Amino acid sequence: MPSLTLMIDPASYLRFVLRRAGHVMFLAMSLALTGMVSAHAQPQTAPATPVVLELFTSQGCNSCPPADELMQDWLRQPNIIPISLHVDYWDYLGWKDTLSRKGHGIRQQDYARNSGKREVYTPQVVVNGKFVAVGSDREAVEKALAKARRMPSVAIQAEKNKTTGNWQIKVPTLAGFEGEAKLVLCRYDAQHEVAIERGENSGKTLNYLNVARSWGDLGRWKGQSASYDVPDLTGTDWGRQGAMVMLQVIANDGVGQILGAVDIKGGK
């Protein structure tokens, strides 16, 4: 078979190779830029609405210290507002809880009644007024938090008037909401260290965080956007204290699901 020899001009061949290389490089750069644009074009995820974690606890309960210690972890996590609510129904065991309020036990009973349960106990966690877990069971509490985050919520905003020191709380519309809710103010102390002298925790010095100290109603809400004024909360002990505002459904003349919340602290 006769051989076939192709005569190629070296200069022409070099120009051909360079053109091909240029096309490949241009294509690669185009794909890279397209990927960058696509990444930036993705919608930004809105900040998660904070969930409220209420820990019902007692200085007279020897099962409570592990749950009280977990409060440190919940405080470190974003978009969780943890509050310790000390109850008084264990005071007969020999030690009167120095941080308890009778209303906390009533609040806990409301939650139990609305969930179809009869019993209350410590340590108990209630997340957003709806999801219940044993307060010392981290895994169970995390599951309750996850459930709460999947529920419809309201993004409450708080703005401080620098002249008057008052706060303006803004609540947006929640489409499809039926019923009535109330805006609730809870003031809390950041920390208390208590030496227990009697009872089940006798001899221990226990540390409590975000301890609920007082409550107040700011107004009613029926699903439409509204704003509320909160008086200046600063005081001689501000720096040790904080405040939170929550939007809570009125259920069976008591407290129900929490639809949204905002934490207010000194200096903001």
- What are 72-122's pLDDT values in tens digits? 999 999 999 999 999 999 999 999 999 999 999 999 999 999 988 889 999
Provide the CATH number for the domain formed by 51-265 in this structure.
2.60.40.10
Nearest to 80 by CA among 223, 220, 210: 210
Mean pLDDT value across residues 258-267: 83
pLDDT of residue 264: 87
Q: Indicate the pLDDT class of residue 234, thresholds 50, 70 and 90.
A: low
pLDDT band at 33 (very low <50, low <70, confident <90, very high): very low
pLDDT at 170: 96
